[in-house]
């Protein structure tokens, strides 16, 4: 069985997703659209965030919270960094850079062969 190797773009998307989590938690879930609107808009774009604005164009805080973290609140903390960055480091140091699947780097062939 083969598994696709995460690309640098995949890793970056995970970093972006969890970074917005940290940004919102750091601000105690207060979303002030004048504070970091460009960054928030960019990260919310795939989730059709426009429907989560009030009549003044500001984010509806509860709606945005529900959108992202309904099932995750209290379950995620900074552990995501170990997983995402650990994966990135393993791919860089253990995987074959010429393949798009999880495969050992050719330098490990002698060890694997025994």
What pLDDT was estimated at residue 74? 57
What pLDDT was estimated at residue 22? 75
- List phi, psi (to 5°) of 75: -100, -25
What pLDDT was estimated at residue 72? 59
What pLDDT was estimated at residue 97? 95
What pLDDT was estimated at residue 48? 61
Please give the Cα distance from 33 to 58 (Å, whole number): 6
> Can you tell me which residue has the tokens 């989590």?
21
- One digit per residue, the tens of pLDDT, for the chain of length 114 reads 899 999 999 999 888 888 877 777 666 656 555 566 676 666 666 666 566 666 666 766 666 666 666 555 555 667 788 899 999 999 999 999 999 999 999 999 998 888
What pLDDT was estimated at residue 68? 62
19-44: b or e for each residue (b if 16 or more CB lie within 10 Å)? ebbeebeeeeeebeeeebeeebeebb
What pLDDT was estimated at residue 15? 87
């Amino acid at each position: 069985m083969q598994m696709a190797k995460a690309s640098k773009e995949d890793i970056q998307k995970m970093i972006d997703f969890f970074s917005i989590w940290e940004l919102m938690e750091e601000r105690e879930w207060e979303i002030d659209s004048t504070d970091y609107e460009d960054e928030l808009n960019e990260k919310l774009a795939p989730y059709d965030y426009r429907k989560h604005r009030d009549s003044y164009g500001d984010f509806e805080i509860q709606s945005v919270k529900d959108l992202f973290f309904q099932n995750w609140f209290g379950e995620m903390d900074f552990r995501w960094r170990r997983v995402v960055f650990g994966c990135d480091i393993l791919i860089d140091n253990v995987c074959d850079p010429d393949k798009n699947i999880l495969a050992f780097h050719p330098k490990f062939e002698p060890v694997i062969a025994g």
